[in-house]
Amino acid sequence: MAKLFAVLAVVSVVTAVTSHVEARPRRLKALVVSGQNNHNWQVSHLVLERILEQSELFDVDIALTAPAGGDMSSFKPDFSAYDVVVLDYNGDRWPAETDAAFLDYVQGGGGVVVYHAADNAFADWEEFNRIIALGGWEGRNEKSGPYCYWKDGELVLDDAAGPGGSHGAQREYVMHGRNTTHPIVKGLPTNWKHAQDEMYDRMRGPANIGTLLYTGLTDPATGGSGREEPLVFTVDYGKARIFHIMLGHCGPTAENNPAMQCAGFQTLLLRGTEWAATGKVKQRVPKDFPTATKVSMRPDYRAPEQ
Ligand code: ZN
């Protein structure tokens, strides 16, 4: 009889352990790609990792390329092992085998986040430009596709000649919502104030925007285009789920990095990354989200308890 009790006790302990494991949701697997950039990638890729990990929604791996001009032949991340790939890369072309693996991943229904200057990359790679929809700099011009901006309640495609990609002086600015039902933005304020950041403008590309989420009005007085520019959107690219966020210019250190310390940037990054990974967003709207008149910062990149 004592033996039976012992067996039952072991069974109940095993059951308890199993049910505890099952109750905890699986974290999504994210890969941050970095290693070269005309930006401070040494800080930005670690901050992206921190934001994603601290949300407790993602397990993050990092894939760094060789330095600029270095031997890229060993850069072969296994994209297929991840729910979502976050691009923080603007540099030398990858090996042809890695390009092909990335396209296989994306075209097979993968999730991609295009973060800030990742949309400067690979101006001469046609398929990559369809994955980002809009890009800038690195020789882009009217051959890259039209300019694309918001005017009189709709997106305008403008074939005018000229360079692709510029921005005025950094400043705080108000984001203007253009959609209220997409999972990434559902429940978020239409207008909210972003912390000091660049505002990309005059971007060009195939302009295959899926859902336009937020625009911003550039300031011609500080060198901006004077147009209402698309800044946050999804990309229409087959079965893939692609989230493109032009915000988040990285500061000199993790502690002096207002654009990435903005609670609005972090919220969009987390919601957009979850959507790119799963097609859904289960996160609540955080209580520290910025308002139309008040910037909200998370210096430690951690969301408050709900
Ligand atoms: Zn920048």
| pLDDT above 50 for 14 | no
Chain-centre distance of CA 223, in angstroms? Answer: 25
Average pLDDT score over residue span 58-85:
98
Q: What confidence score (pLDDT) does residue 15 get? A: 47
- Bridge partners of 87, per DSSP, are 33, 114
Distance 117 CA to ligand 1 centre (A): 6
Assign 23 a pLDDT band (cuts: 50, 70, 90): low
Distance 32 CA to ligand 1 centre (A): 18
Average pLDDT score over residue span 58-79:
98
Q: What confidence score (pLDDT) does residue 25 get? A: 77
| pLDDT above 50 for 1 | no
Q: Between vectors from CA 303 to CA 301 and to CA 305, what angle results, nearest 5°? A: 150
Distance 57 CA to ligand 1 centre (A): 27
pTM: 0.92
| pLDDT above 90 for 108 | yes
Q: What confidence score (pLDDT) does residue 24 get? A: 67
Residue 209: its H or E element? strand 209-217
Lowest mean pLDDT of 12-26, 162-176, 210-224, 287-301, name the range: 12-26
Residue 178 structure tokens:
């253009």
Residues with CB under 5 A from ligand 1 (ion): 198, 249
Question: Which positions ≥6 away from 5 have C-beta within 8 Å?
Answer: none
pLDDT digits (tens, 9 = 90+) for 126-181: 999 999 999 999 999 999 999 999 999 999 999 999 999 999 999 999 999 999 99
Alpha-carbon radius of gyration of the chain: 21
Distance 34 CA to ligand 1 centre (A): 15
Q: What confidence score (pLDDT) does residue 200 get? A: 98
Distance 116 CA to ligand 1 centre (A): 7
Taking the C-alpha atoms of residue 183 and residue 211, their distance in angstroms, rounded to an integer, is 11
pLDDT digits (tens, 9 = 90+) for 191-215: 999 999 999 999 999 999 999 999 9
Distance 41 CA to ligand 1 centre (A): 11
Distance 26 CA to ligand 1 centre (A): 33
Distance 170 CA to ligand 1 centre (A): 9
Distance 210 CA to ligand 1 centre (A): 24
Average pLDDT of the chain to the nearest whole number: 94
Taking the C-alpha atoms of residue 57 and residue 227, their distance in angstroms, rounded to an integer, is 36
Distance 2 CA to ligand 1 centre (A): 70
Average pLDDT score over residue span 15-41:
80
Average pLDDT score over residue span 18-30:
73
Q: What confidence score (pLDDT) does residue 20 get? A: 53
